[in-house]
Structure 1
Amino acid sequence: MDTNNLEQRLNKAWPWTAPLATTTELANAGFGDRALASALNHGLVFRLRRGAYVRAAKIVKLCGVTRLFFGVLRVWGG
């Protein structure tokens, strides 16, 4: 899936009132498991714990980390 298209779909599905989103919230908005897995692989979202996600841009803005950080966490199983 094209990253720009995926990001547009994520923007439409993400709950605007919260920095975090659950799998259920995203699924109810039409952003299913495959799209979520693709967003994780493209570095658009970060899994905080099972069923809880945050936008990667939000973490970068708050903590100043880069996408390399997400790749390292993914390798370590974070």
Structure 2
Amino acid sequence: RKVDSETIQADIWLYDSEALEEPWFSRQVYKLMPQEEGDPLRLAYWWNCQEPNNLVTETEDGGTTFLDFDFD
């Protein structure tokens, strides 16, 4: 939902009785960031330092991928 002219909020509920003991909820808030035309896209995001799966690196083709991503 659009909270104001600079903020979008996404509330997500995930229901999966086979994988989860209870519904999982996540709230993501996105803020508009000023940017000059032609500048690279700037992103502000929440960083969870307790999760090693947040480490991202640039690939040879300019995309991104996670480092050492696993579900262990």
**Which structure carries more relative contact order (alpha carbon 8 Å, separation 6+)?**
1
TM-score range relative to shorter protein: under 0.3
Q: Looking at CA atoms only, which structure, 1 or 2, has the larger radius of gyration?
A: 2
Q: TM-score, normalised by structure 2?
A: 0.25
**Which has the larger share of helix?**
1
Q: TM-score, normalised by structure 1?
A: 0.24
